Structures are given as C-alpha cells and as structure tokens.
C-alpha cells in the first residue's frame, strides 16, 4: 500500500466534520454547495457524496468525518466513506492537521488493504495521494508493516506452517539486510529449547525457533512473538467452534514481524532482535499430556494441567533466551488468553509491564495514533495461583479467575534482567470497521512504535 506518485492527476476529496459543514457550504462554489444541500449531505461518519461536472464526470467528492461524538467512538472515520468511493485517484483537500491528519492519511492508505490471495477476481479500488503536511514515507512503512501482519494472520494454516512463517521472516530479513537463524526440529533440544520442541513435536511439520537480528547501534530491543500456527488444543482438544479461528494463533508472531518491518523500514537507531517460537499444537502419539512435568530452558519446571495452554510454554523458552542478553527492553506479543477478551473485548490490546516508562508512554502513544491499549496489572498476590506444589509452575491454574493476569505472571518468571512488557492481543477484527476489514489485524504495534523513542532514550 503506497500513496500515488506526486504527478498523478487526482480528484479533490473533501473531508467534512458535521460541525464544519455550514462554514464549508458558505465557502464552496455555489453549484457545489447547492448540490450538497439538494442531496442532503450532512457530514455524518460514513457518508459520501460525489459532485458531477457538466459532462457527468466526477468533479470532486465529499466524505463525512461525523460529529465529535462519532469521531470519539469511531477512529479512522474517514475510511468508512472513502473505501466506498468509485475506483479512481483522489487527493485530500487538507483541512486537518497534526495527529488528526496523520490518522486520516494512514486510514486512506489502509483502505487499500484486501486479502485477495484466494480470490480469482479482484476489483479496482480508489487510491489516494499523500496529503500535504504528512511524512508519507513513514506512513507507508507503517501501512506495509500492518499489511504484512494481516496477510500472515489471514493465510490459512495449510499454507502457513512453521516453515512458511520462517520463510516470511527470511524474506523480511533479506529485504532489510538483517541476519536470521532458524533452529528446527530436534536441534531445538541440543540448543536447550525443550518446551518449544515438546509443544511442537506431535505435528507433521517440525517446530522452529526463528531468530532475526538487525541494527548495530542504539538501545537493544527484543521482540518475542507467539507463533502457534494452528492450535487444536492438543490432547485437551478444543471443540470445533473454538478451533475455527485458530489459524490466528500465530498473531503475536505476525505482529512482531509487522512491527519489525516498520522499525527497519524507518531506520530506527536500535539493535533489534526478533524471536518467534513457531509450532503447531497437534494431536498425535508423541503429543505432550496433561500431568506431564516439563523442564524449561531457564530450569524452572512446569506442570501441564491443560495442553491447550501451550502458548506460554513456547514463549517461556524464547523469553529466557532473550533475557540472557539483558536487552534494554523485551516485549512479547501473543494471542494468549480468552480471559483478555472477556476483560477488554476484541478492539483493545491489554498490556502488562514492569517498566514505569512504558506504562506511561504506551497509553499516550496508543491514543495519539489510534491504536488503543490498556494496562493490566502484574498482581503479585496471584503468584500463588501459578505454583502447583509438585513443580515450580502450573501452566493452567484451576479456578478460572484472572486468566490473563496469571498467564502474564507465568511469562514474567522467565525475564529477570530486562524491563519486560507483554501484550495479550486478539489479532482479529470480528466485524468490518473503518480501515480494518474483517480478518487479521495488528494490535499494539503502532502504539509501541510511537512509544519507543521516549522509552528507549530515557
């Protein structure tokens, strides 16, 4: 997704808020104002109106931004109307500024996203020039990262196994002159990554640990993404309805790869490492069992009380590996718990952090860039819930309460030397929304990208 080349001939696109409509009508050429009045254009969110010229061609277009209340409830509101425009080239007649302009420009870019890989017929869609006053290259890099995340999540598991996920990371590394290493199959045992191996060993497709590095100066940032490419639940088999969306269980891996794309394309001064345990949680004769006790890379033992709580197991080994280098920040993304969805719904990315700077910066950044996040607590009194007695840790505490918090506390046990932030994301847009069609979606990545300079420089 890119903006149109600067010399492209375009049709003017006017974005109008309800409260600005009267003044705009007074300022417009008389025939345009008369047309808008005659057609009842009100500026409500999602509304669009085309104005013809004498030959019946489109002379300009108007889209509604809605009222202040509508904009508060619906971010990227301009996309709701713009994505329904006829195919053609448009430029925004700029009445917006600052963060509102950046959001509108990114929303216009993201209207170009459609997952067409499995469609035999595609259609022409509107395209947009970069509005004056925006950093077009930055927005294009962000849109490209978001598109990568969406594509990876939307691809079904038959075409997105551990190998294909590693290949996607390798293409990204090649594009940005990054180094990459992939540890596969039984080699995971010799490299002391036992829980990644155990979770993935029953699948026909071998588990992997993807390790990407980029940058040779600046603070050190390690991103860890859950790459469970499909989750049957293992021997604690999910019911069919709960398995339907499990191609998205690698949404954490997709998110960190999309974020890495943004960081590398923008040339941020940071030493970046990306770690992805890529596995399939399958049913087979070699599957791990309820009641098994596993020994992690860190040496902590884990009692398996539910094989469907596998994401925290593979993340634990990857986090322990990350922590051994004591980076300036470790951040994990994972589609980890249904409890997080019960707490904040599908639209918000809850996060946990041990770093006061991150706790302050992330909500501010998320609000600024339209990527909502919400801090959840590492509530120390719940530590006892993840200690079963027979082993150091329990991967699925009984009781059903505070499931997202106990999962986060479990992961925190594997990070000792670095500030740690964990996102428990959904990675899926259940119904279409402006600039976010139904399907895979990035969550928390743009907020973190915006927050990083403040966090890493302090």
Residue 127 is assigned to a structural domain of this protein: no
**φ/ψ of residue 100, rounded to 5:** -65, -40
Do 313 and 404 belong to one domain? Answer: yes
The pair of three-digit structure tokens given for residue 400, joined into one six-digit string? 């059903």
Residue 118 is assigned to a structural domain of this protein: no
Mean pLDDT for 137-160 is 98
- Rounded Cα gap, residues 328 and 168, in angstroms: 26
Interaxial angle between packed helices 251-266 and 445-457, expressed in degrees from 0 to 180 and rounded to the nearest 10? 50
Residue 385 is assigned to a structural domain of this protein: yes
Do 83 and 154 belong to one domain? Answer: no
Query: Which one-letter DSSP state was computed for residue 288?
Result: -
Do 52 and 144 belong to one domain? Answer: no
Do 221 and 313 belong to one domain? Answer: yes
Per-residue pLDDT tens digits for 196-253: 999 999 999 999 999 999 999 999 999 999 999 999 999 999 999 999 999 999 999 9
Do 295 and 444 belong to one domain? Answer: yes
Under 8 Å between Cβ of 173 and 297 = no
Under 8 Å between Cβ of 142 and 126 = no
Mean pLDDT for 260-272 is 98
- Rounded Cα gap, residues 165 and 148, in angstroms: 12
> CA torsion 117→247→164→257, rounded to 10°?
90
Under 8 Å between Cβ of 332 and 315 = yes
Do 108 and 143 belong to one domain? Answer: no
Under 8 Å between Cβ of 421 and 327 = no
Residue 331 is assigned to a structural domain of this protein: yes
CATH number, position 37? 3.40.220.10
Do 171 and 255 belong to one domain? Answer: yes
CATH number, position 349? 3.40.630.10
Beta bridge partners of 17: 66
Do 156 and 73 belong to one domain? Answer: no
Do 106 and 236 belong to one domain? Answer: no
DSSP H helical ranges for 52-175: 68-73, 77-82, 98-110, 136-154, 162-175
The reported pTM is 0.97
Structural domain of 376: 139-457
112, 131, 160: which is the final residue of a domain? 112
- Rounded Cα gap, residues 314 and 296, in angstroms: 9
- Strands, E, within 3-122: which ranges? 11-17, 48-52, 58-66, 89-93
Per-residue pLDDT tens digits for 159-210: 999 999 999 999 999 999 999 999 999 999 999 999 999 999 999 999 999 9
Per-residue pLDDT tens digits for 21-45: 999 999 999 999 999 999 999 999 9
Under 8 Å between Cβ of 192 and 299 = no
Residue 238 is assigned to a structural domain of this protein: yes
Instruction: Specify the DSSP element, H or E, that contains 11.
Output: strand 11-17
Mean pLDDT for 265-283 is 98
**Around Cβ 407, how many Cβ atoms within 10 Å?**
26
Residue 430's region, left for phi above 0, alpha for psi from -120 to 50, else beta, is alpha
Query: Which one-letter DSSP state was computed for residue 330?
Result: E
Known catalytic residues are 238, 312
The answer, yes or no, to whether residue 389 has pLDDT greater than 90, is no
Tell the burial category of 457 from Cβ atoms under 10 Å away from its Cβ (0-12, 13-18, 19+). Answer: exposed
- Rounded Cα gap, residues 6 and 337, in angstroms: 45
Residue 152 is assigned to a structural domain of this protein: yes
Query: Which one-letter DSSP state was computed for residue 200?
Result: H
- Rounded Cα gap, residues 320 and 415, in angstroms: 6
- Rounded Cα gap, residues 278 and 253, in angstroms: 8
Collect all residues with Cβ–Cβ distance below 8 Å to 125 and sequence separation of at least 6: 83, 87, 111, 112, 114
What integer pLDDT is reported at residue 123 of this predicted model? Answer: 83
Residue 166 is assigned to a structural domain of this protein: yes
As for how many domains the chain has, the answer is: 2
Per-residue pLDDT tens digits for 104-127: 999 999 999 999 999 988 788 999
Residue 43 is assigned to a structural domain of this protein: yes
Per-residue pLDDT tens digits for 75-90: 999 999 999 999 999 9
What integer pLDDT is reported at residue 390 of this predicted model? Answer: 95
The pair of three-digit structure tokens given for residue 381, joined into one six-digit string? 């009194």
> 3-state SS string over 364-411?
HHHHHHCCCEEECCCCHHHHHHHCCCCCCEECCCCCCCCHHHHHHHHH
63, 94, 112: which is the final residue of a domain? 112
The pair of three-digit structure tokens given for residue 63, joined into one six-digit string? 């889209």
- Rounded Cα gap, residues 329 and 366, in angstroms: 18
The pair of three-digit structure tokens given for residue 231, joined into one six-digit string? 């989750």
Taking all residues of the chain, what is their mean pLDDT, rounded to a whole number? Answer: 96
What integer pLDDT is reported at residue 458 of this predicted model? Answer: 64
What integer pLDDT is reported at residue 286 of this predicted model? Answer: 97
Do 64 and 159 belong to one domain? Answer: no
What integer pLDDT is reported at residue 1 of this predicted model? Answer: 86
The answer, yes or no, to whether residue 400 has pLDDT greater than 90, is no
Do 355 and 416 belong to one domain? Answer: yes
96, 112, 128: which is the final residue of a domain? 112
Interaxial angle between packed helices 445-457 and 356-369, expressed in degrees from 0 to 180 and rounded to the nearest 10? 140
Do 266 and 181 belong to one domain? Answer: yes
The answer, yes or no, to whether residue 95 has pLDDT greater than 80, is no
DSSP H helical ranges for 201-353: 240-243, 251-266, 311-323, 338-344
């Amino acid at each position: 997704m890119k903006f149109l080349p600067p010399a492209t001939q375009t049709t003017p696109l006017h974005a109008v808020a309800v409260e600005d409509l009267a003044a705009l009508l007074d300022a417009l050429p008389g025939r345009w104002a008369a047309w808008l009045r005659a057609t009842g254009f009100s500026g409500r969110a999602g509304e669009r109106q085309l104005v013809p010229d004498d030959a019946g061609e489109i002379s300009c277009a108007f889209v509604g931004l809605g009222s202040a209340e509508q904009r508060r409830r619906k971010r990227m509101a301009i996309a709701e109307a713009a994505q329904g425009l006829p195919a053609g080239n448009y430029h925004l007649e700029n009445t917006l500024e600052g963060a509102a302009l950046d959001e509108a420009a990114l929303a216009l870019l993201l209207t170009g996203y459609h997952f067409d890989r499995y469609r035999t017929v595609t259609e022409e869609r509107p395209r947009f020039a970069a509005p004056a006053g925006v950093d077009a290259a930055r927005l294009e890099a962000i849109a490209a990262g978001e598109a990568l995340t969406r594509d990876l999540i939307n691809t079904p598991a038959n075409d997105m196994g551990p190998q294909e996920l590693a290949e996607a990371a390798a293409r990204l590394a090649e594009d940005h002159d990054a180094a990459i290493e992939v540890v596969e199959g039984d080699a995971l045992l010799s490299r002391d990554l036992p829980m990644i191996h155990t979770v993935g060993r029953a699948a026909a497709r071998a588990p992997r640990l993807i390790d990407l590095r980029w940058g040779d100066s600046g603070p050190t940032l390690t991103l860890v993404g859950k790459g469970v490419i499909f989750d049957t639940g293992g021997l604690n088999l999910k019911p069919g309805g709960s398995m339907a969306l499990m191609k998205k269980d690698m949404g954490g891996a997709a998110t960190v790869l999309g974020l890495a794309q943004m960081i590398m394309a923008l040339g941020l001064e940071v030493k970046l490492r990306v770690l992805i345990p890529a596995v399939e949680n399958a049913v087979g004769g070699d599957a791990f069992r309820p009641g098994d006790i596993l020994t992690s890379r860190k040496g902590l033992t884990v009692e398996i009380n539910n094989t469907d709580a596998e994401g925290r197991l593979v993340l634990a080994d990857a986090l322990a590996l990350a922590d051994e280098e004591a980076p300036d920040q470790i951040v994990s993304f994972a589609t980890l718990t249904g409890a997080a969805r019960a707490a904040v719904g599908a639209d918000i990315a809850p996060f946990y952090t041990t770093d006061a700077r991150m706790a302050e910066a992330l909500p501010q950044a998320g609000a600024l860039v339209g990527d909502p996040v919400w801090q959840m607590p590492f509530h120390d009194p719940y530590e006892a819930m993840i200690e079963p007695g027979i082993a150091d840790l329990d991967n699925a505490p009984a009781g059903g309460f505070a499931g997202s918090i106990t999962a986060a506390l479990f992961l925190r046990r594997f990070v000792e030397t670095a500030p740690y932030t964990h996102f428990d994301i959904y990675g899926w847009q259940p119904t279409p929304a402006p600039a976010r069609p139904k399907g895979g979606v990035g969550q928390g990545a743009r907020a973190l990208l915006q927050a990083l300079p403040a966090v890493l420089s302090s």
